[in-house]
Chains A and B, each alone.
Chain A
Amino acid sequence: MKKVQFSRPLFPYLLLIPQLSIIAVFFYWPAAEAIRSSFFLEDPFGFGSTFVGLDNYRDAVTSSEYVNVATFTVWFTALVAFLSLSLSLLLAIKADAVLKGAKTYRVLLMWVYAIAPPVAGLMGILLFDQSLGPFTHLMALFGHDFKLGVNYYDTTTAIVIVSVWKQIPINFIFFLAGLQSIPRSVREAALIDNPSGISRFFTVTLPLLAPTAFFLLIINITYALFDTFGIFDIMFKGEPGNNPTTLVYKVFLDGFRGNDLGGSSAQSVILMILVLGLTVVQFRMMERRVHYT
């Protein structure tokens, strides 16, 4: 391969400046500011502030509420990632097998993706409303008094359903593309060797889908951790009450609703470290078991 060399050594750095400055202004600067303010307790208007060292971190981690929220976040993330991945995989396999009208069928499955999270939350409110929601009526038929915003588990159920529903289309698109990229010859060979559909899926199809699934797992975890914010915000109608909350939403509540900048910054730094750790673990540990070719 021919090596391309710039005649002036500084020129490539010049070309990098726009990109680097965007990263610096929009990512590193705010991150550095968050780390700085996590060591202070500051008056919201910026008049007084006290250096408190690691107090904000200690207060956050030792509060029983923070532990509750963290536990909920783990369960919520696992549940949303598992459900949206497995349901969309099922749909993708079924859609892949459809011969007539395949395109229409696929488009119908995909277009939910175009819905913004707050809109999804709004639909959730209508669907699960205490007096008017069709889902609430359905549950009443089974003898369960479904109370969104009153019963912790009912609210969790509603938010999980909306979050999973919202995430299925993008998983579906990727799984379908992944399935279609499995060579026909491999499938035919497998069909001759093993007539059992389920066993064929787990020994042949799934391993070949592993790169896609791995990529989607990361996407789904970050989705459940961060992007579900809009759904939570709309479904709570501005009053958190005793509703379940994720760590990201708590950062927002403490910082932007409660005006506790120090505490909120400390929590966001903890989240930053968590995400950093998660990324390292996933790429280091799991990449070994995933075959990309």
Chain B
Amino acid sequence: MNTAKLTTTVAAIALMAGAAYAETEITLWHAMGGQLGETVNKIAEDFNASQDDYKLTPVYKGNYEETLTAGIAAFRGGEQPDIIQVFDAGAATIISAKGAVVPAQDLLIDNGVAFDANDYIAGVRNFYADTEGKMIGMPFNSSTPIMYYNEDALAKAGVTPPKTWEEFQSVTAPALKEAGYTPMSQSHLPWIFTENFFSRHNIQFATNDNGYAEGETKILINNDGIKAHFSAVKDWIDGGMFGYYGSGWSDNQKPFEQKEVAMWLGSSGSFGGLTATVDFPFSATYLPYWESVNPEPTNTFIGGAALFAMSGKSAEENKATAEFFKFLSSAEVQYFWHKETGYVPITNAAYEMAKEDGYYERSPAAEVGIQQLNLPGGDWTKGYRMGFYVQIRDVMSREYGKIMSGETTVEKAFETIESDANKLLARFAKTQG
């Protein structure tokens, strides 16, 4: 009798204690390594410290591709995290899978968080939205390709950063070569010289409204403008005016950090890392364009990744995820993230806060990415949506690599990319059946 009473009492106390300290735990799987990962951990700590009801645990899952694959495997096994970070090329995979995610916009509204799409910067808002413009993913680390340059190198050669590729070809590159530098390198041919080439010159990239509309999409990569660009790049490489160090990102960034290469096309999100590693004054400006292709260049669109709330979670966990999204998109957190990493702030409020704080007067290069995103747009500058796009990018990398090493011609390479990509797109359409 006494024992039973005691047990009941203990159980009751335990229950009450449990209730009092019940924190809803949620997990975030991300692909942010190194300095970026530390910043993510800091944001999670701040979120946990800001309230007592929810606890977020960030988990690093490897690179973008590995994180997406881990998320898919976990989802199929019913063990998915609450939030997963998915990169631009994987957006079609997760958005097309109807029922894999709770749209960020619905999640916020259902949990009583005020939401207005117009709070978000235009270039950021559209990329992860569906056909009707509903925001599916919560933009997180948004970047865009920009041109970094070594100020000493340019001063030594007596040139200014080129606005157009024509200027680069006739003035900048020969002078830098003369001064003993490899004039330029870039870190991601599919992203910088393909997707954003189409956006910067306002050229259609795929049928079906760049793939955003329903139905089978065909890629329109076999375009004279881009083919002329790649022929020029190959000529520059052969003439010592451009450096190609393979398809790895850091292999192409390293020579810039080591002052062998004078200008480097990379991500606006590389700003934080560069500031920490290089020992020379550097700055950044817009991605050059071909005046002959389009004399009125348009904006580039965002790369990087977004956070997706995965479906199949309890109402409490969804509430916690919504609260985290609210915290994350607040101007203070966005400004912190922007300053630490160089990724662009996703809301107008955060951008205003950075301006008022005088951040861009202190480091003007940090504003280039967002300014470039805010350039006048066109019909084909909001992004693209294509399935099996990770493989399509790999096909591009492969064929571009062959162009650079002289194993194939530009003409043949683009034919192969077009036919291989369209086969993949047709296959993807069938997976949705």
Contacts and interface: CB of A to CB of B under 8 A. Distances in A.
B97 A45 contact: yes
Contacts, number: 128
Interface stretch (A158-166, A176-184, A233-241): A233-241
Contact of A242 (B391, B398, B423, B432): B398
Nearest to A41: B430
A236 B394 CA distance: 13
Contacts of A44: 72, 93, 97, 431
B275 interface: no
B433 to A, nearest CB: 4
Interface in A143-160: 147-152
Interface stretch (B155-163, B247-255, B289-297, B358-366): B247-255
Interface string A221-246: 00000000000000011111111000
A69 B356 CA distance: 56
- Counting chain A residues whose Cβ lies within 8 A of the other chain, the interface size class is 35 or more
B168 to A, nearest CB: 22
Contact of A259 (B68, B251, B416): B68
B9 to A, nearest CB: 47
B225 interface: no
A149 B405 contact: no
A53 to B, nearest CB: 12
Contact of A239 (B72, B76, B248): B248
A257 B248 contact: no
A50 interface: yes
A106 B246 CA distance: 39
Given A50-B430, A50-B431, A260-B391, A242 B399 contact: yes
Contacts of B404: 150
Given A44-B97, A239-B397, A257 B69 contact: yes
Interface in B345-363: none
A258 B100 contact: no
Contact of A49 (B400, B402, B420, B433): B433
A148 B400 CA distance: 16
A48 B391 contact: no
A43 B97 contact: yes
Contacts of B249: 239
Interface in A18-73: 41-50, 52, 59, 63-65
A52 B430 contact: yes
Nearest to B403: A242
Contacts of B405: 150-152, 242
| Chain B interface SS verdict (over half) | helix
B99 A257 contact: no
A46 B65 contact: no
Interface string A121-160: 0000000001100000000000000011111100000000
Interface in B71-128: 72, 75-76, 93-94, 96-100
Contacts of A65: 395, 398, 420
Contact of A240 (B63, B94, B388, B397): B397
Interface in B389-433: 390-391, 394-395, 397-402, 404-405, 407, 416, 420, 423-424, 427, 430-433
Contact of B431 (A42, A147, A238): A42
Contacts of B416: 64
A259 B93 CA distance: 9
A253 interface: yes
Given A42-B431, A45-B76, A59-B423, A130 B390 contact: no
Interface in B6-42: none
B336 interface: no
A242 B72 contact: no
Contacts of B65: 238, 256-257
B20 to A, nearest CB: 38
Contacts of B94: 45
Interface residues of B, number: 48
Nearest to B416: A64
| Chain A interface SS verdict (over half) | loop
Interface centre among A50, A130, A239, A260 (most CB of B within 10 A): A239
Given A47-B97, A241-B401, A148 B427 contact: no
Nearest to B244: A150
A96 interface: no
A93 B246 CA distance: 41
B388 A242 contact: no
Contact of A130 (B99, B251, B391, B395): B251
A253 B249 CA distance: 18
Contacts of B97: 43-45, 47
Contacts of B236: none
A258 B430 contact: no
A240 B99 CA distance: 31
Contacts of A240: 247, 394, 397-398
Interface centre among A50, A59, A258 (most CB of B within 10 A): A258
B245 interface: yes
A260 B388 contact: yes
A131 B258 CA distance: 11
Interface centre among B97, B98, B250, B401 (most CB of A within 10 A): B401
Interface string B373-400: 0000000000000001011001101111
A263 interface: yes
23 contacts: A43-B96, A43-B431, A43-B432, A45-B100, A46-B76, A52-B430, A63-B423, A131-B255, A131-B258, A147-B245, A149-B251, A152-B402, A237-B250, A237-B251, A238-B65, A240-B397, A256-B69, A258-B388, A259-B69, A259-B72, A259-B388, A262-B427, A262-B431
Given A52-B430, A242-B402, A259-B69, 7 more contacts: A45-B99, A65-B420, A148-B246, A243-B247, A253-B391, A257-B390, A259-B390
* A-B pairs with lowest CB-CB distance, top 10: A242-B401, A241-B247, A149-B246, A258-B391, A45-B97, A50-B433, A41-B430, A239-B247, A45-B100, A50-B430
